[in-house]
Structure 1
């Protein structure tokens, strides 16, 4: 694992003195800088007493430590004995570009008040990470789960430092939570937790509408198929392809795309979700494909880059899924959960007649489920 950039070393105040031993290299989860943004417009979620923007070190697809952004929301409520509980939050798809950050604007129009507010009011510190490449060096490798999972875990490490800097104490026990892309990241962080962050204690993982086994239906794509113009599908497709180009640069992704497809995927590197949806209105995925995806190395590479382990979960998992989900298909989630259970995972699987966005009620259920787990001192 390498550390990238002299500016990062300067950011943590490391100095190499001639003739002396080199200072120890900073580790994943090291906090580089913090800014109190409590009083900024759009920063505060209901129940938060203080909101701290942070930059910390975590991995990119090359295994290098780079600066990654995130936000720590500290509750107004006093901590439990032993410190505040921690929830590592992984946000859903917003885009790949540097301007597509989410965590520094979570208070906008109260959009997270019903979702994350109850966690804060119950005494959880929420550490919400961006993903490597969003608002920092490089390009975000969309759905590279191992990278996103490590980003979530390193944000938990960093959040404990931030809370201590603010005069508080956060427990080493934590839970992860996320929906859509964030559900994918939460699965990965839970599977990596015991080996990657053994000094912490993973109490459980919450997963909503996860994109699992996506290579199973991407392998059906070919020129002209599908022919239906759905902007969300084109946007999702473009992000997956752009992310694959970052995660597997040796793969000639462009050879599978038409000239229009190459442009759309290039735009995906900078256009946030709403803008990419507007830019692709009237297009269909079939227009973007030059040759069948099941030919050559693309699908194996996609499966490797975006797949999720079905084993290694050392804590219970709650998986919530809408049966009418048009993006993360319910049968694929059911198949994945069955594979997890076969491999020994403790999974509480709950389905509801809903689409991709499950609604705030899912977070209420998740909080109740979290509080029923085996937290220290409970």
Structure 2
């Protein structure tokens, strides 16, 4: 009787075992592509960037490597990045829970230790509505403005994953997609044999400034619910856009008005239910089309910049409503992308300039206060800096904080 029962169970479980084996095999065998041509084609013309069918994506787990190819990473067009570099495509998840493909770049420095390697997820502030400015393409082209900052991590022997966290459709300012893209990028790097990491037990830190800080803080807020198996030791974020509506109000009509205009176009792409065509006049419709090929502050890429295109313009002159930010469906999108609605999973270092032209410091103060009240360990540094200057001057202490977390130095906090 027992033998018969075992035979029946074996027959029932055999297909499941085979399916599990096939699933595991698919996850461990990414497609290997040849290096890109020199000069590399734009992502829109590069087959490596073309996503697999939805059925293939949904068949694998988030963070699964789909494709890899080795690249020659360059800094500022001329200088090779010492070490090895790969572009990787991996599986992530959109806001609706559907499987999507995402791109990232893995950098392994020459001085990376043979064992016990540690990982930094570095989130570039590429603020783009086009893949032309995606970090994965910028590393190949040599157009990554933040390479000098990333070099600090590489000099410390850290493996770096720089995800294209906006996704293949360039959903700039979409918090959920960005945060999940960062976390799945970490999973992908840990699944990547050539990175030499120790799977989910790998010590990880996350960082980013401005648009990169949006991705970093969202990743930290989603960490425990979306990727609790990861070993994230700390997160550093500077120039944090806490509330996109308040950022828009601050920059509207100023030199930085293009941030507002570009973000509206990006969120309209990500949230088609906003129906922007019904909210703008002819000039606004022209703006939405014009913005689709733009990136913020990425002048090395040659892409047009919303800062120069829309400087000193007022949004009210482009809409058929008196206040775009007061439209209920627009308010709903802004509310969904507001930071502070979830509990961060790792200790935080937040740095903010008191004369930041873009980010309202009151929002950052309130976010820190909220985190502290919930027991999150936060180190908060305010300094007399504007938005652009702090990106450079604030990086040293942010990196020190992250290296301390990786070295298991006890965490301190400025929370009262």
- TM normalised by structure 2 equals 0.74
Q: Which of 275, 295, 298 is the equivalent residue of 1:272?
A: 295
The answer as to whether partners of 1:258 and 1:289 remain within 8 angstroms in 2 is: yes
Number of the residue aligned with 1:301: 332
The answer on 1:84 being equivalent to 2:121 is no
| Greater Cα shift, 280-289 or 206-215 | 280-289
SS at 2:180 equivalent:
helix
Instruction: Tell me the distance in 2 between the aligned counterparts of 1:216 and 1:39.
Output: 37
> Does the C-alpha gap of structure 1 residues 106 and 248 become closer, same or farther in structure 2, counting only changes over 3 Å?
same
Displacement after TM superposition at 1:210 (Å): 1.0
> Does the C-alpha gap of structure 1 residues 344 and 310 become closer, same or farther in structure 2, counting only changes over 3 Å?
farther
Please give the root-mean-square deviation of Cα atoms over the aligned residues, in Å. Answer: 3.2
> Does the C-alpha gap of structure 1 residues 169 and 294 become closer, same or farther in structure 2, counting only changes over 3 Å?
closer
Query: How many residues end up aligned between the 2 structures?
Result: 349
| 1:149-184 deviation per Cα after TM superposition (whole angstroms, max 9, x unaligned) | 01001111111222x235565652211101111101
Unaligned runs of 5+ in 2: 1-25, 32-55, 297-302, 411-416
The answer as to whether partners of 1:132 and 1:151 remain within 8 angstroms in 2 is: yes
The answer as to whether partners of 1:141 and 1:242 remain within 8 angstroms in 2 is: no
Which of the pair is proportionally richer in helix? 2
> Does the C-alpha gap of structure 1 residues 267 and 85 become closer, same or farther in structure 2, counting only changes over 3 Å?
same
| 1:71-130 deviation per Cα after TM superposition (whole angstroms, max 9, x unaligned) | 01112113275x211111111133111212123324837843431111111111110011
Instruction: Tell me the distance in 1 between the aligned counterparts of 2:99 and 2:325.
Output: 34
> Does the C-alpha gap of structure 1 residues 65 and 109 become closer, same or farther in structure 2, counting only changes over 3 Å?
closer
Unaligned runs of 5+ in 1: 1-7, 14-21
Instruction: Tell me the distance in 2 between the aligned counterparts of 1:99 and 1:68.
Output: 15
SS at 1:99 equivalent:
helix
Q: Which of 276, 284, 296 is the equivalent residue of 1:253?
A: 276
The answer as to whether partners of 2:347 and 2:377 remain within 8 angstroms in 1 is: yes
The answer as to whether partners of 2:129 and 2:291 remain within 8 angstroms in 1 is: yes
> Does the C-alpha gap of structure 1 residues 259 and 23 become closer, same or farther in structure 2, counting only changes over 3 Å?
closer
> Does the C-alpha gap of structure 1 residues 90 and 266 become closer, same or farther in structure 2, counting only changes over 3 Å?
same
SS at 2:346 equivalent:
coil
SS at 2:393 equivalent:
helix
> Does the C-alpha gap of structure 1 residues 375 and 194 become closer, same or farther in structure 2, counting only changes over 3 Å?
farther
| 1:340-375 deviation per Cα after TM superposition (whole angstroms, max 9, x unaligned) | 212222111101111112143322111211122265
The answer on 1:63 being equivalent to 2:86 is no
> Does the C-alpha gap of structure 1 residues 132 and 311 become closer, same or farther in structure 2, counting only changes over 3 Å?
closer
> Does the C-alpha gap of structure 1 residues 229 and 258 become closer, same or farther in structure 2, counting only changes over 3 Å?
farther
> Does the C-alpha gap of structure 1 residues 302 and 80 become closer, same or farther in structure 2, counting only changes over 3 Å?
same
The answer as to whether partners of 2:246 and 2:360 remain within 8 angstroms in 1 is: no
Structure 1 segment 28-67 matched on structure 2, within 5 A:
28-38=62-72, 48-67=82-101
Larger radius of gyration: 2
> Does the C-alpha gap of structure 1 residues 359 and 40 become closer, same or farther in structure 2, counting only changes over 3 Å?
closer
The answer as to whether partners of 2:73 and 2:139 remain within 8 angstroms in 1 is: no
Number of the residue aligned with 1:19: none
Q: Which of 91, 95, 119 is the equivalent residue of 2:153?
A: 119
Instruction: Tell me the distance in 1 between the aligned counterparts of 2:158 and 2:360.
Output: 31
| Greater Cα shift, 270-279 or 177-186 | 270-279
> Does the C-alpha gap of structure 1 residues 24 and 295 become closer, same or farther in structure 2, counting only changes over 3 Å?
closer
> Does the C-alpha gap of structure 1 residues 168 and 242 become closer, same or farther in structure 2, counting only changes over 3 Å?
same
- TM normalised by structure 1 equals 0.81
SS at 1:204 equivalent:
strand
SS at 2:305 equivalent:
helix
Instruction: Tell me the distance in 2 between the aligned counterparts of 1:341 and 1:145.
Output: 21
The answer as to whether partners of 1:86 and 1:125 remain within 8 angstroms in 2 is: yes
SS at 1:250 equivalent:
helix
Number of the residue aligned with 2:194: 165
| Greater Cα shift, 121-130 or 328-337 | 328-337
The answer on 1:73 being equivalent to 2:118 is no
The answer on 1:105 being equivalent to 2:138 is yes
